[in-house]
Amino acid sequence: MKNLTRRKFVRNTVIGAAGAGLLSSPFRLSALSPNESVNIAIIGLGGRAYALAQSISLCDNLNLSHVSEVDGNRATRFLEHCDREFGFKPNLNPDFRTILDDQDVDAIAIATPEHWHAPMAIMGLQAGKHVYVEKPCSHNPHETELLVQAAAQAGTLCQMGNQQRSSITSNEAIDLIRGGEIGDVYYGKAWYSNKRGPIGFGKKVEVPEYLNWDLWQGPAPREGYRDNVHPYNWHWFRTWGTGEIHNNGTHEIDICRWAMNVQYPERVVSTGGRLHYEDDWQWFDTQVANFEFEGGRTIIWEGTSCNNIPQFGRGRGSLVYGTEGSAILDRQGYVFMNLDGKETKKAIEPDPGTSASTSDTSGFDGLTIRHLRNFTNAIRLGDKLNAPIADGAVSTQLCHLGNIAQDLSANLNVDSGTGKVINNPDATARWKRSYEPGWEPKL
């Protein structure tokens, strides 16, 4: 048994005793005891990976065992950071598929560009891994549906990275709202503002020697490399990104939907465009999307990517209106007000518990800590996930519907039971993307 780890031994024993078919049943077989650490791999080592690594360092029984990145320079910087800040020495695998084959890895955290989120999550679930996938969980509505099906079929867990679902104050506020604190809730406003600059007009250049451009593109149809895409501006190109409504709106729309206790809308309209600059940016820097639910209840998303004027003193947030008052929920806490706008209740998000040696973990990173703790405890102890993929997928689909409505300048009628657009062939044609041959995700 010198070269056989405990995880491999337990897994092989389970298979031998129960048969491989049992591992594909809807019941999760854990190879971990409550006192054993979960080995997690981070795939994609950009900005979110640093927050994930810091959060892992502050989670009991969670170990960063592996990382994967197709950009060699990014990989080097990240490994140096992990060693210096946390003492982590994870194994580096430039091709994530080797991680999926490694039976010592229990879970993966996907922090790649968005065109990889659903295909990689599906591959992870099919490989028997627990999956933490950053928002949005998909590049297009078809992928969302596939991912939800894959998670339902897997014997493992899948959580989306809508971290505010693990906020102490947001959960408290939702309980208050559901308890009638502001009466009957009928309207939610979600917003985000920033001052992003232009991305210019890219020039075709040679692929940098440190970047595996083919694997970076993965499931996306192949395009030549140009100098204004990697490492961040892919967000604004349709081949790889999904625009600001997904990049940030997913969070705030999700909070409004949670507070109002709604699922899919009946009607969606959207206005806006790329209005601030003329450049290669293909999505919208200004967008107001309206989601109308049963009984006329409404959520509005307002995104201004290039004009950083705050609303209600906040650059981002969610405001929920009720018949007896209103409530603002953001990553720092909540404020309840009566119909005259007078503050009636207020709470600040408590520190999630950090060590003095780490950098600031307030706000978003603090919520990442709570979210990963929940994910870890769900794997080890059977705790309920705060953002299971079946629920997170609904908020992702709303954002896709907002973009489709904007593209078509259309009033979309939606089946509130399934989230699918009704009697609109142009919208249906946008439900799925084309894939590089051999890379299309399938169940």
Q: Encoding tokens for residue 202?
A: 């890219």
Identify the pLDDT of residue 20.
36
For residue 370, give every residue at least 6 positions away whose Cβ sits within 8 Å of its Cβ, in sequence order, or none: 163, 166, 167, 168, 352
Residue 61 is assigned to a structural domain of this protein: no
Instruction: Give a yes or no: residue 435 inside a domain.
Output: no
Query: How many whole angstroms separate alpha carbon 95 and alpha carbon 253?
Result: 34
The boundaries of the domain holding residue 192 are 165-210+226-348+361-429
Whether residue 355 has pLDDT greater than 80:
no
419's torsion region: left (phi>0), alpha (psi -120 to 50) or beta? left
pLDDT in tens, 383-420: 999 999 999 999 999 999 999 999 999 999 999 999 99
Domain count within the chain: 1
Q: How much is the pLDDT for 12? A: 44
Residue range 96-115: average pLDDT?
A: 98
Residue 196 lies in a domain: yes
Q: What beta strand segments (E) does 305-417 contain?
A: 316-322, 325-330, 333-337, 343-348, 412-413
Q: Is residue 76 part of a domain?
A: no
C-alpha pair distances (Å), 175 with each of 180, 259, 318, 359: 9, 9, 16, 32
Amino acid, single-letter form, for residue 437: P
* Residue 104: inside a domain: no
pLDDT at 353: 75
Q: Is residue 109 part of a domain?
A: no
Question: Strands 325-330 and 333-337, how do they pair?
Answer: antiparallel
Would the pLDDT of 216 be above 90? yes
Helix (H) or strand (E) holding 131: strand 130-133
Is a pLDDT exceeding 70 seen at residue 288?
Answer: yes
CATH code for position 408:
3.30.360.10
Q: Is residue 39 part of a domain?
A: no
CA separation for the pair 371, 374 (Å, rounded):
5
**pLDDT tens by residue, 62-103:** 999 999 999 999 999 999 999 999 999 999 999 999 999 999
Average pLDDT over residues 42-65: 96
- The reply to whether 262 falls in a domain is yes
What does the pLDDT look like over 54-66, one tens digit per residue?
Answer: 999 999 999 999 9
Q: What is the pLDDT of residue 31?
A: 53
CA–CA separation, 243 vs 289, rounded Å?
13
